[in-house]
Structure 1
């Protein structure tokens, strides 16, 4: 850890201290407590610039804290009960928000806004341009300010902007969609941080799958709402496509206030935990070799993130897996109507099975990963099935075969969930985690903004060029996942073969905000 990792701490002074005290945390001047050699052979200095969980650990230092299996299960059930339903509801709603344009596209949006050629494709591309531009600023805001309060403010404004999408003509619509992308850029990184704050490494993949698979619930609910508005359009003073934006926007505003009131910024501030339970929750996550987060930006961790090959494997995976996702999200309903030949009402209803496949498939495979003992190998297997489904969508001679490919394609998020949970579990050091998360989601943006552009209007209604691009990207994303697994496996084996580093002379070093490359006792989740 560089002595100049935080300029606000001023010049470092070396003191022979081997344990943290409250005065260390209150001291705004950086000073070094001890040093050791990292697995990479570099000297690492542990300073008083540590994780926010350290303060709570020091307050209860010396207490005999024991977590038996029954207590651990009770705490996990309580955390799941109070956090997961709200997180799932919000993620469901944010995916509905992204699908509003797809639903509205066959309810009169394109005709009302006089869209021609590739104008509709830009309604999605501009969204992800906004996401791309604001991803790093949003991530830095989440690091600097309380996570739950910050993301809830983003959500509330986002819902208001979504409802306003029913008002403007095409230029204004594009502007609002760009702002929506900027606002949504905070949601996924916030949820990744919250998951890493509350859950142990081995629990994070399944919990990430739960809230991410809620996209499937959003597909079902959004399709049902759009179908109902379409079938009863004559009963309303506004066109059905405008009502889709108004209804989902109002739902989002409500959920933003719910998140603000319900989800704590970290476990020590949880209104639903007793004082004793807060101590136990902090102790539970000690095995992660990470804490809650550090609001201070560390230049050394930022540089390490840029130099880590896994960062760029994540980035390449995010681009290649989300080019297909961006295209299908925007054009799925149009394919069902114009390529498969379903009516407008049936095209809306035929998206519901996609949501069901995503809900069941993502959570089932994440649960099965417990028995395979490797989330990444599970993701590799599922992604191989997804590539086969993409081949069906692109090359199957019958409509039923292509439809099966479209439905099985919704298993693709398993790979994305795996990598997202790896950012939570296998990237340590809060500045590094925020940086890797931002780069990964920038790749997500790039893929999603390219995806709609592969659907060229002159190739309608088959869009064969886009389907071939989907297959190529699927194969490349599979290769990226394999490379990530091999990299982690080799690194863990190398660390296991090295002489152990005794860290007993540094109390609570797990909360010292060390990176995965600095901490000799850190092991990557496979």
Structure 2
């Protein structure tokens, strides 16, 4: 594994790795199968599935010349054709997650006779399903299939149906908890799938901005949810069912419609995109060569799973996500309750006040992505690093949490602290972007993503449990735990940045001594970042 090699030793091991890679890529170019006469060398042909799907178009793609103007037009086309649907789906799935927060002050707790810490378990139940799916089923199901978007569409339609079931006439607390678990199972697929889709079309230096945009749609979800809830509360006596139930039905129906759109419009990979002509498909292949990754591979490779488990970055992502998501699990489920009980706003005012955090996230996440791109073009290195903006946002969130926790006699300062917290999603987006760009090898990428989302789910299960009923209405213990978590996040991101910088410098030195790996179509051999000496980690 390249990451563990020093520049002064292990050259014979590197030679062996390079020889195996060269053999793998050369074999993939053979049209006819042949016996493996190479002893311990691995024979792989194109049909065996060991190489990336993009290898099928790699040679033909190399024959075309793409001008900068053509590339810009293609990027605009991808952004305009694919992104609106992706962004809207992400906004809706966030509404699904946090709808219980609005429903809680619309009568949910009273109608289901909740008491003590029962509402905390409503928030945690969703993530039990999310956790289960990302412990293995998501990777096995979606890596094996060659119809990722069709399967994703079925999951989206399923969670829409589950949401509608939240409004069942005789639903009780136990049934509601069961539905939240099932909803978590269905929604557990969307973030890893969107991360993979982003890596299929956009270059590594473009992925952060795109993820900032679709993840930032969480803010749009907050705005849409609170606006709907506000309107429903104002006219609550006009409906034949409680307003909170109608909220779930509306979101569910929208979700089902979006699932149908995904089935029709989002391609399984770029080679199957109905909105791209043949030349544009080859242009996509050519432009993502710089990622040292392709469209994907459908064999689950044990050695890549092991490599993912041994990669220090995997566990940096894991523990960072634990720390950043414990506060998230609490805030997303208790924000409306805090505004209602701790800050003293009425139900309708609490819903209106909830629009402000949504606007902050909707604007800030894409803004930091754009700023990163801008400074990258201006060659201002430190401000072009995604992790720089992640650290900045984590520091601001830490300050905000300190204001919320310790400015006890200053309501305005505490409220400002709540709103500053909504800059933290940009920090988590950076980790998603790092996984998308820096975990090479399709099995490894899925594995690292799944491990990260296991941390995400587990922490969101724990988060609501920090809000202990006997500490209501100010929940001082939960606020202190958030301060500790964000202090750790800042330190973890600094370590990750320095770790990647040092690794890139080591690879530069090693390549200077040995020369680059000059192997035809090596980018599409489904190599991991450890195997591919040409790979550099995005900062």
Q: Distance in 2 between matches of 1:258 and 1:391?
A: 43
**1:282-293 alignment to 2 at 5 Å?**
282-293=285-296
Q: Distance in 1 between matches of 2:36 and 2:340?
A: 62
Query: How has the CA–CA distance of structure 1 residues 465 and 32 changed in structure 2, closer, same or farther, with 3 Å as cutoff?
Result: farther
Greater CA drift, 358-367 or 433-442: 358-367
Aligned to 2:143: 143
Aligned to 1:157: 158
Deviations 1:474-508 (A, max 9, x none): 1111111111111111100100111244433x321
The answer as to whether partners of 2:28 and 2:51 remain within 8 angstroms in 1 is no
Aligned to 2:404: 393
Aligned to 2:6: none
Query: Which of 438, 452, 461 does residue 450 from structure 2 map onto?
Result: 438
SS of the equivalent of 2:449 reads helix
SS of the equivalent of 2:26 reads coil
| 2:515 counterpart of 1:514 | no
Query: Which of 483, 505, 517 does residue 503 from structure 1 map onto?
Result: 517
Q: Distance in 1 between matches of 2:491 and 2:202?
A: 29
Query: How has the CA–CA distance of structure 1 residues 269 and 334 changed in structure 2, closer, same or farther, with 3 Å as cutoff?
Result: same
Instruction: State TM-score, norm by structure 2.
Output: 0.90
Deviation at 1:34, TM superposition (A): 11
The answer as to whether partners of 1:204 and 1:421 remain within 8 angstroms in 2 is yes
| 2:341 counterpart of 1:365 | no
Query: How has the CA–CA distance of structure 1 residues 16 and 362 changed in structure 2, closer, same or farther, with 3 Å as cutoff?
Result: closer
Q: How many residues in Structure 1 have an aligned counterpart in Structure 2?
A: 502
Deviations 1:16-66 (A, max 9, x none): 686245556x7598887998xxxxxxxxx68441001101214x16x6322
Q: Distance in 2 between matches of 1:429 and 1:419?
A: 17
Deviation at 1:15, TM superposition (A): 11
**1:10-49 alignment to 2 at 5 Å?**
19-21=26-28, 23=30, 27=33, 47-48=44-45, 49=50
Deviations 1:342-385 (A, max 9, x none): 00001011000101100111111111112122001111112111
The answer as to whether partners of 2:100 and 2:333 remain within 8 angstroms in 1 is yes
Deviation at 1:473, TM superposition (A): 0.6
Query: How has the CA–CA distance of structure 1 residues 454 and 75 changed in structure 2, closer, same or farther, with 3 Å as cutoff?
Result: same
Aligned to 1:172: 175
**1:118-517 alignment to 2 at 5 Å?**
118-135=117-134, 136-145=136-145, 146-167=147-168, 168-370=171-373, 371=375, 372-396=383-407, 397-498=409-510, 499-504=513-518, 506-517=519-530
The answer as to whether partners of 1:123 and 1:177 remain within 8 angstroms in 2 is yes
Q: Distance in 2 between matches of 1:452 and 1:31?
A: 59
SS of the equivalent of 1:114 reads coil
Q: Distance in 1 between matches of 2:212 and 2:307?
A: 28
Deviation at 1:317, TM superposition (A): 0.6
Q: Distance in 2 between matches of 1:309 and 1:461?
A: 40
Deviation at 1:286, TM superposition (A): 0.6
Aligned to 1:42: none
Query: How has the CA–CA distance of structure 1 residues 517 and 398 changed in structure 2, closer, same or farther, with 3 Å as cutoff?
Result: same
Query: How has the CA–CA distance of structure 1 residues 119 and 520 changed in structure 2, closer, same or farther, with 3 Å as cutoff?
Result: same
Aligned to 1:10: none
The answer as to whether partners of 2:28 and 2:44 remain within 8 angstroms in 1 is no
The answer as to whether partners of 1:209 and 1:363 remain within 8 angstroms in 2 is yes
Query: How has the CA–CA distance of structure 1 residues 282 and 18 changed in structure 2, closer, same or farther, with 3 Å as cutoff?
Result: closer
The answer as to whether partners of 1:53 and 1:293 remain within 8 angstroms in 2 is yes
Q: Distance in 2 between matches of 1:14 and 1:157?
A: 42
Deviations 1:95-124 (A, max 9, x none): 011111111000000000000000000011
Unpaired stretches in structure 1, ≥5 consecutive residues: 2-12, 36-44
Deviation at 1:139, TM superposition (A): 2.2
Which structure is higher in helix share?
Answer: 2
Q: Distance in 1 between matches of 2:129 and 2:469?
A: 24
Query: How has the CA–CA distance of structure 1 residues 227 and 284 changed in structure 2, closer, same or farther, with 3 Å as cutoff?
Result: same
SS of the equivalent of 2:530 reads coil
Q: Distance in 1 between matches of 2:36 and 2:448?
A: 25
Q: Distance in 1 between matches of 2:515 and 2:43?
A: 14
The answer as to whether partners of 2:142 and 2:148 remain within 8 angstroms in 1 is yes
Unpaired stretches in structure 2, ≥5 consecutive residues: 2-19, 376-382
Q: Distance in 2 between matches of 1:33 and 1:279?
A: 35
Q: Distance in 2 between matches of 1:426 and 1:336?
A: 39
Q: Distance in 1 between matches of 2:65 and 2:472?
A: 63
Superposition RMSD in Å: 2.0
Query: How has the CA–CA distance of structure 1 residues 243 and 485 changed in structure 2, closer, same or farther, with 3 Å as cutoff?
Result: same
Runs of 4+ that moved beyond 6 A? 13-18, 28-35
Deviation at 1:313, TM superposition (A): 0.5
Q: Distance in 1 between matches of 2:43 and 2:529?
A: 14
